[in-house]
Structure 1
Amino acid sequence: MARTQENRAGGGARSNTRSNGNGNGNNGKQRRNGKPRDEEGILPVLARAVREVESRAQRRHLNSDQRTTFQVVALLAREERTRVKADTELTEARRAEQLKRLDGIATILAKTATTDSTLFTLLGDDAEITADARALRREMLESAGLAVADDRPAVDASGDPDALVDRQVVPRSVVRRQLANPFQTPEYIDVTDLPTPARRLASWELLGPLFESFERATDGRASSMELPEDASRRTPAGPELMEHQAALVAAADAGHRTFLLADEPGLGKTAQALLAARAAKAFPLLVVVPNVVKSSWVREARRWTPGHPVTAIHGDGHDLDAFADIVVVNYDVLDRHVGWLGEFGFRGMVVDEAHFIKNRSSQRSRNVLRLSERIRERRARPLLMALTGTPLINDIEDFRAIWQFLGWIGEKAPTPYLLGKLEDTGLTPIDHQFSGAARRCVIDMGIVRRRKVDVASDIPARRVADLPVELDGEVGRSIAAAERELATRMVGRYDAAMAARGTPSAEMDLDLVHAIAVSERKDSEGSKTGENVFGMMRRIGRAKAGLAADYTAQLARSVGKVVFFAKHIDVMDAAEEALASRGIRYSSIRGDQTAAQRQAAIDGFTGDPEVQVVVCSLMAAGVGLNLQVASDVVLAELSWTDAEQTQAIDRVHRIGQDRPVTAWRIIAAQTVDARIAELIDAKAGLAARALDGSDTEAGSSADVQVQALEAMLVEALRAR
């Protein structure tokens, strides 16, 4: 039954006789301030705000203020959902009513985002929360009558709001530790280890040639430094390391202190980092991780380094044990703690899923780089480790922030140690041999890359199988019409540009095709009227949801447990509904879950033989999970990168897996979905070339979205 917009949003006009959650009408049940119970709190504030954004979106008038409102409403709705689920004082009826109202708000957010697909970027874990967004969040909470912690950025004595005071939040236990040990042991630099002074290369621009040396690598050699052989595989904790893990720990024990640990996902990077810290005596150790793997890091630290207490920072750090040897913090709260963390005296820092910092302008990247710089200023040779199985997402420039974190390069040039290594080659960028020598110098700074096929022969093979599906009926016709509309619009722009030149040509101008694709993508971000590639991919995902769930149910009945990945919440909802209708028990892993809810979902899937499927959000569950109890993965929606796809598959294909792993990729045939699958596969060649020494032809580093639009336009022009 259709619901009114007001009811979906949880606000607007309501009957005075509507239940208040206790079975009684609201008539005569007013609060002291005269407001009905349903009109108090944050929900009506969110409802009014989301209806305003929806109205503007329908008129195609979204500006930066409305985009900020959209993001803040989504954040507060997520927080409120978590609070409602955890509130033990709510009756079940009241809880159900509030969750229903939150579902209404979420529905309007989703509907609004379909009119401007760039709004989805505001919902990602890596979306920057601007000062305007923080101010609006505070304003909404205050208007709802809720207490608000002072999370506004502080300013220094100059009054410059961009000059943040170092300490924003200082947990009480940190103060106690500082009072207990006010002096830090000085560290001295070994003068025999000083870098060679730059002479020949002092005036050369070197960062460009360094990046190009990886992009053009065709020597067939993997990008991995030489590691000690015959390293001990025993650990104080008891578990025995694999040979490749022991080799990295031995390198740290021998004195190496910076690592870009780029092993393929599933090869045990967490254990290597923790034991490398023990070997390097790099305690206290700071570990920066995505929120979804924070509890996993705490468990792994207790397993691999039991003699070193571990603590995690939650929120403002009220329950932090500052006397612990290992401090785990997630990217999302780092901005509150970056001040005292920089002064704490850490001897080492590990950044997990280091590709999260590839955007150097983002707040999370600035925080990580600031902490790394402070640690390097205070410690002569700290242990710095960047962990990522997918260091290259789109472009070779993705290396830049990671290298800067490790202290290999600065903003404009290599730092002295790398520059000294380059100087020792006796070459300059005009020499033919410079590229290979420079690449080797960077690798020797600490790049470690091992593939499963090379070092983990006991891990079964992995394959990706595409399952084309036909989108029939009205849904299929609607998507086909949307693609035609988009292609027709781009053809019109092409023809107009050619006519304006006044020099007709029978040859297709591919430069013009590219320019129109770039412009179309940019216009889509600006909420241009008509269909766009982002909206179509979301519609295709919804159309595939039932088909993907059907195949998942068949797999579950024939092979056992299955991991199902989707990108959008509405696709997950549709899949779960389809699985339930077929009698398939499932658990669900989503971004709005608490740590306890998330762990319960994981335990249910891995420990309960009756739970056959786990339905996972690609963003929330694509990293940090061990789901090797299954050997089949269903990818119901495509991501925009091969890296995300690989991360998802490697939740299953990892150390301890004893069966071949198959990822079933559901592809909508004869749609843009199929084109994007081809482009994602082509782009996987970039990482193979840069890291694995492959001579596979690398795909272009241009955006997949632009390439998909180019392919659509070329096809439409050729069909005329």
Structure 2
Amino acid sequence: MNKTERVEIRGLVADFEQWGRRAAEVQARRHAVQVAASNGERDLRARSVGINRAGQVAWRIIPLQSSDKGIVAHLWERANLPATSANDRALLRLLAEDAPRAVAEVSPLLGMRRFFTGSAKKQSAEAAAEALRRHHSAVTKARGPQRLERLGFPTAPRGSGSLGLHALLDPALRFDLLSGRTGPEPEILDRSVFGDLPEALDAITKVVASEDSYRSAARNAGEKVRKAEVRRVLQEMPLEALKAATRDRLRLGPLAEADINTVQEVLNRGRSLSTLPGVAETSARRMLGAAQTLRRTTYDEMPIRIDIANRRPETTHLLRCLAEWDSCRVTRGASTDLERAAELAPLRTAIGAWTSHVLVVPAGTVAVEGLRESIQIVKRRAELLGMSSASGPRSVHTDPWDDFLARPADYFVMLSELGFLTEDENAVHGDLPEEIIEAVRNQALSGEHLTASLRGYQSFAARFALVQRKVIIGDEMGLGKTVEAIAVLAHLRSRGETHFLVVCPAAVVTNWVREVTGKSKLRAHRVHGPERDRAARTWVRDGGVAVTTYETLAWWEPALTKLRELACVVVDEAHYIKNPQAQRTIRTKHLITRADRAVLLTGTPLENRVEEFRNLASYVRPDLTVDATDLSPRTFRRQIAPAYLRRNQEDVLTELPELVEVEEWLPMSGADASHYRAAVERGNFMEMRQAAMLQGPKSTKMQRLVEIVREAEENERRVIVFSHFRQVLNLVARSLPGPVFGPLTGSVPASQRQQMVDEFSSAKHGAVLVAQIVAGGVGLNIQSASVVVICEPQLKPTTEAQAIARAHRMGQVQSVQVHRLLSEDGVDQRIIELLAAKKRLFDDFARVSDMADSAPEAVDLSEAELAREVVAAERQRLARSAAGEA
């Protein structure tokens, strides 16, 4: 290699050394940026806390402070590092790895050592020099130095406002907690949203702690009642149950010989069983283990029941503890708000004094707005608790049984809050699709304006109505649909809504006004009767809950159409508007359409034809497609599921006493039969239905009714007597002994109906309320009665069910006896057959079930068709009977 070549190579070496240093700097810088960004992500992840809802993480929360802008800067730098192509990576490898090796190999040709270098090294150096020439040519031709400069600097200039904390939401930063996710968008909330939350949580915790001793005392008392009941059950459980529990061939003879006859007696003996003659130690262990298994199983399945017929000391103590807890707690009615506080508890330690923002990342389907709403609910609840003065428990009545009997539903709600009354989770959801169930679970329910505590299934219904906006709540009668609707209105009031309207039958206007006033802080306005003008004007001006009737709507409709905002309309006994051609239906439907939300309440959405049920669904959700060509029950229920929620008593009211229904088939007396034959000859169907009661003391049904009332008085019960016919009711009222209230008929003003019920409820045992079944069987709560008598079968099964539910409902503490008075000969038998067919229709379509998928029209009959058919059949039967006697 000559001098010129050596100069050339030295120039190449100098270039590659310079480029190599620059390439190393670029690689080091890129690595440092990557590490800094990864460390920043790791730091943010380590701070994150999960907020759970319904057992699953709903949001991931990351507290942020001003210094986190440095992390944002690192993420920005990483995101803006120039992307490296395959050629870029090859260039960096060449300059950082390949070229330095070639430089090292060519060095023997460039200095004095070249004179002492062997031929082999000279050949290697020559090859390296040639490689440097090729590499240098390739690098310069590909503008390698310029590319190096590009790889070392961000691709975009850093704007002055682009690196605030909100830049974390920029997808370009590729923050790993936000990358590749789906669902609701994450948000960053500033301190104005959550700043007071720790103090609010502390305040709530303090109040709950102040009540906790009373709550714990009530819980411990409940456990004693439960254990005592388990002991009584095991004391009556025979020894044979031990074999069933273990599927083992236990020799029980030695136990019987030792006068041990029940499972509880085995437990009483314990380990001393092995000392009995004929009982080996292994057998004793098996026997005792089986007995303990039975005790655990019985305990797990044992609900708490308040037996008013057996006022045991442990139950009295429980009631006293519940009364003391209830008297001191300012959190009454706040259970749903306290649930939200418990959800947000992880934020208490996560939010510090330096926290300026929080990054909220939805982990499921609930948007950040749901978290913001929960924070506001908790802060408002803390504010309300701060305004409440808990000066210790008020004095509790000497006998807590009196307070329990006066308001049993309140006590059952407390037992439910303590976990002693469990609900079937699937039954609570009715027949709803999973996606709606999830949305309902995630819906907040503010208790700010609610003063009543809700059962779990009631809270679910209120949230269902909020999520779906316009719905039918078809809960079985007696489950508390009224308070479910009031909870919806109270929540909407906490969101700034002001005007709510309840449309109901006249018979229950008073009850609605009482319930709104007693279970919420909302103001009720009675827009019915002589003061309706003043009440309507006050409601329009001040807002609140206007309670009116279907009939009053005709008068009020012109003024209502001018109202700009109607937040929610509640339609009670919504089956009243099943006929789309009726004027009250047209008026009510117009309100439903205008209102932002609507809640239709009915325990009997289907009375005769499926078409009626379909009409109700169309009022709230005209967008639902109900296929008229496929009327199978399962298909129908699936199609209306988004708008319809129903739960049944036996599924959610585990504490409800037994319902005993007795069909009392009675012969007609001579006077009854004579009257009945005359009615048949005249073809008078309605007279045929009454014939077995109208002979007064000579009628077998009346004689049996008097016996039932006397038995009820002896058993310290009150009685409701239902009939469709006023003539029957008047005769019953004159014929019965003891205090009789009524008849309660459709002609009795609504306010007087409630007064009549109140007087009956406070009367002595043996009192009777006589009521027309279409008037007294709707809307009124009469759980002070525990004996129901239905004088004749009704033409709709839902009519009888409604009447029975007046007594057998939440808050009832006695078993309810239902006596159906039926004549062996005559029209009653045919009506009973019709009732059975109609009940199958209701169960198939309106009640959650999986029964047969027959078409409903096959079993439907109009009342006119029924009358013609029955009269004709009875004429033939009586004619045959007369011919036989002749």
Normalised by the length of structure 2, the TM-score is 0.45
- Alignment of 1:666 onto 2:821: yes
Match of 2:702 in 1: 546
Structure 2 unmatched runs, 5+? 1-366, 368-428
Q: Is the Cα–Cα contact under 8 Å of residues 733 and 740 in structure 2 kept in the other structure?
A: no
2:752 is aligned, of 559, 576, 597, to 597
| Structure 1 residue aligned with 2:166 | none
Any stretches of 5+ residues in structure 1 without a counterpart? 1-191, 193-220, 377-381, 410-414, 423-427, 486-529
**Equivalent in the alignment of 2:790:** 635
Give the conservation status (yes or no) of the 8 Å contact 2:502–2:570. Answer: yes
Q: Deviations along 1:101-126, whole A, 9 cap, x unmatched?
A: xxxxxxxxxxxxxxxxxxxxxxxxxx
Contact 1:564 1:633 in 2 (8 A): yes
What residue identity is the alignment partner of 1:331? Y
State the 1:573 CA deviation: 1.2
Out of 634, 653, 661, the position equivalent to 1:464 is 661
Counterpart for residue 638 of structure 2: 440
Q: Distance in 2 between matches of 1:224 and 1:629?
A: 34
- Matched residues in 2 for 1:600 and 1:653: separation? 20
Correspondences of 1:84-103 after superposition (within 5 Å): none
Q: Supply the distance in 1 between the matched residues of 2:632 and 2:862 (Cα, whole angstroms).
A: 30
Structure 1 pair 229–454 and aligned structure 2 pair: CA distance change class (3 A): farther
CA contact (8 A) 1:277 1:383 kept: no
User: Aligned-pair distance for 1:364?
Assistant: 1.3
Q: Residue 318 of structure 1 aligns to a residue in which SS?
A: helix
For the pair 1:609 / 2:822, whether they are aligned, the reply is: no
Task: Give distance in 2, aligned partners of 1:360 and 1:612.
Answer: 41
Matched, 1:558 2:714: yes
Cα offsets for 1:493-532 (capped at 9, x unmatched): xxxxxxxxxxxxxxxxxxxxxxxxxxxxxxxxxxxxx323
Cα distance change, pair 231–465 in 1 and its aligned pair in 2 (3 A): farther
Q: Is the Cα–Cα contact under 8 Å of residues 675 and 708 in structure 1 kept in the other structure?
A: no
Q: Does 1:573 align with 2:730?
A: yes
Report whether the alignment pairs 1:693 with 2:861: no
- Aligned pairs for 1:398-409 (under 5 A) are 398-406=612-620, 408-409=621-622
Q: Deviations over 1:227-260 (max 9, x none)?
A: 345988994434321111011223345x320111
Alignment of structure 1 residues 321-720 onto 2, 5 Å: 321-322=538-539, 323-344=542-563, 345-373=565-593, 375-376=594-595, 382-406=596-620, 408-409=621-622, 415=623, 418=624, 439-444=637-642, 446-483=643-680, 485=681, 530-543=682-695, 546-547=702-703, 549-559=705-715, 560-579=717-736, 582-609=737-764, 612-691=767-846, 692-695=848-851, 700-703=859-862, 706-707=865-866, 709-710=868-869, 713=872
C-alpha distance in 2 between matches for 1:231 and 1:608:
44
1:386 Cα deviation from its structure 2 partner:
0.8
C-alpha change, 1:676 and 1:708, in structure 2 (3 Å) is farther
Partner of 1:286: 501
Higher RCO (CA < 8 A, seq sep 6+): 1
Whether the aligned pair in 1 keeps the contact of 2:712 and 2:765 (CA below 8 Å) is: no
Task: State the Cα deviation string for residues 351-406 of structure 1 (Å, max 9, x = none).
Answer: 10001111222221121122223x15xxxxx1111100001111101124312321
Counterpart contact for 2:661–2:817, Cα < 8 Å: yes
What is aligned with 1:99? Answer: none
**Does 2:462 align with 1:249?**
yes
Sort the Cα spacing of 1:552 and 1:439 in 2 relative to 1 into closer, same or farther, 3 A.
Answer: closer
SS in 1 for 2:691: helix
The answer to which of 383-392 and 676-685 deviates more is: 676-685
Residue 272 of structure 1 is matched in structure 2 by 484
State the 1:537 CA deviation. Answer: 1.6
CA distance in 1 between counterparts of 2:503 and 2:684 reads 36
Aligned residue identity for 1:628:
Q
Is the CA contact (8 Å cut-off) linking 1:350 and 1:384 kept in structure 2?
yes
| Superposition CA RMSD, Å | 3.1
Partner secondary structure for residue 829 of structure 2? helix
Range with bigger deviation, 433-442 or 685-694: 433-442
Q: Separation in 1 of the partners of 2:789 and 2:636?
A: 41
Please tell me whether residue 258 in structure 1 is matched to residue 470 in structure 2. yes
Deviations 1:392-422 (A, max 9, x none): 111101124312321x22xxxxx3xx35xx9
User: For residues 224 and 555 of structure 1, what CA distance do their matches in structure 2 show?
Assistant: 45
Q: Using the alignment, how far apart are the partners of 1:429 and 1:650 within structure 2?
A: 32
SS at match of 2:683: coil
Q: 1:263 to 1:438 in 2, by over 3 A?
A: closer
Q: Distance in 2 between matches of 1:714 and 1:568?
A: 23
Match of 1:29 in 2: none
Distance 1:260 1:605, change over 3 A: same
How far apart are residue 439 of structure 1 and its match? 4.3
Percent identity, please: 26
The answer to which of 321-330 and 694-703 deviates more is: 694-703
2:272 alignment counterpart: none
> For the residues of structure 1 that align with 2:444 and 2:804, how far apart are their CA atoms?
31
Query: What are the Cα deviations for residues 164-219 of structure 1, in whole angstroms up to 9, with x where unaligned?
Result: xxxxxxxxxxxxxxxxxxxxxxxxxxxx9xxxxxxxxxxxxxxxxxxxxxxxxxxx
3-state SS, counterpart of residue 319 of structure 1: helix
* Partners of 2:634 and 2:845 within 8 A in 1: no
TM-score, structure 1 normalization = 0.55
Counterpart contact for 1:283–1:348, Cα < 8 Å: no
Report the alpha carbon displacement of residue 475 of structure 1 after superposing the two structures with TM: 3.2
**Matching residue of 1:96:** none
CA shift in 2, pair 1:326/1:307, >3 Å = closer
Deviations 1:146-181 (A, max 9, x none): xxxxxxxxxxxxxxxxxxxxxxxxxxxxxxxxxxxx
Deviation track 1:45-99 (CA, whole Å, cap 9, x = no partner) reads xxxxxxxxxxxxxxxxxxxxxxxxxxxxxxxxxxxxxxxxxxxxxxxxxxxxxxx
Task: Classify 1:603/1:403 alpha carbon distance in 2 versus 1 (closer, same or farther; 3 Å).
Answer: same
Partner of 1:186: none
Report the AA paired with residue 806 of structure 2.
R
Matched, 1:317 2:513: no
Counterpart secondary structure, 2:502 = strand
Tell whether the 8 Å contact from 1:231 to 1:246 is kept in structure 2 after alignment.
Answer: no
| Cα contact 2:637–2:845 (8 A) shared by 1 | no
Superposed displacement of residue 583, structure 1: 3.9
Kept in 2: contact 1:301–1:310 (CA 8 A): no
Change in Cα spacing, 1:715 to 1:577, as seen in structure 2 (3 Å) is: closer
Q: Which has the higher helix share?
A: 2
* Local SS of the residue matching 1:287: strand
In 2, Cα distance between equivalents of 1:298 and 1:268? 15
1:610 Cα deviation from its structure 2 partner: 5.5
Report the CA distance between 1:711 and its aligned residue. Answer: 5.6
- 1:665 Cα offset (Å): 0.6
Match of 1:239 among 452, 476, 481: 452
Counterpart CA distance in 1 for 2:709 and 2:828 is 23
Matched to 1:266, the amino acid is: G
> Structure 1 residue 716: deviation in Å?
6.7
Q: Counterparts of 1:297 and 1:363 in 2: how far apart (Å)?
A: 23
1:384 and 1:392 map into 2 onto residues whose CA distance is 19
Looking at structure 2, the residues matched to 480 and 274 of structure 1 have their Cα atoms a distance apart, in angstroms, of 52
Alpha-carbon distance change, 626 to 429 in structure 1, aligned in 2, over 3 angstroms: closer
Q: Confirm or deny: 8 A CA contact 1:604 1:611 kept in the other structure.
A: no
Q: 1: distance between equivalents of 2:836 and 2:684?
A: 22
Name the CA shift for 1:347/1:548 in 2 (closer, same or farther; >3 Å). farther
The letter for the 1-side match of 2:453 is E
Distance 1:547 1:360 in 2: 44
Q: Distance in 1 between matches of 2:706 and 2:516?
A: 40
* Residue identity in the other structure for 1:273: A
